[in-house]
Amino acid sequence: THILVSISAALVMCLSLFLYETVGADPTRIAGHVLSGIGFLGAGTILRYRVSVLGLTTAASLWAVAGVGLATGAGFYFGATVTTVIILISLFWLNKLVDRLLLQRDWYRRLRIEMKGSFEGLEQVRRVLSSYDSEIKDFSVEKGDGGEVQLILDLRLLSPRDEEPILKEVISLAGVKRAVWKEG
């Protein structure tokens, strides 16, 4: 996505300069519309999930690479290079630094578990979740026709890295037929 946005913005800037040289058109008009359009595209990447907002970094980085593409298309290679380096540092190195500094950031997820038998399995699931310092924020229990139980748990996790180990442990519990992370 980022490569497509950047290369397309470079093409549009080259087109703007070409039109300026051939017919005298204002080269800033098309570039201005590119940035407005990227803002609209970026807004489409922003999602609200429960108490979290997702996609802000994607939207901002799309807008940034559009600027890099415009600068490259205009021949401002120094500015495009410096900006690219700063973008890469921000997206990769700073993310790792923030992950280390903010160990207590909360992640909210929904876990759906299908199990045989009775409601005693809920206590086993609760023990697994507490071993990862996860908190059940809300839950619902539905009893099926064949004596099966479906648990839907809204959880607060300390890290998204806990998702896979939690899922493996829950699936290994006696009576659990299926467990999956679900959206909203």
Termini Cα distance of the chain: 25
Question: Could you please report the per-residue DSSP string of 78-96?
Answer: HHHHHHHHHHHIIIIIHHH
Q: Is the pTM of this model over 0.95?
A: no
Q: Quick count: other Cβ atoms within 10 Å of Cβ 151?
A: 21
Tokens 């996860």 identify what position?
134
Q: pLDDT per residue over 39-97, tens digit each?
A: 888 788 877 765 567 788 888 888 889 999 999 999 999 999 999 999 988 888 887 77
**Distance, CA of 87 to CA of 69 (rounded, Å):** 13
Tokens 């298309």 identify what position?
73
Q: pLDDT per residue over 10-44, tens digit each?
A: 888 998 899 899 888 898 888 888 888 888 887 88
Residues 6+ apart with CB under 8 A from 5: 38, 41, 62, 65, 66, 69
> Which of 158, 155, 152, 160 lies closest to 180 in space, CA to CA?
152
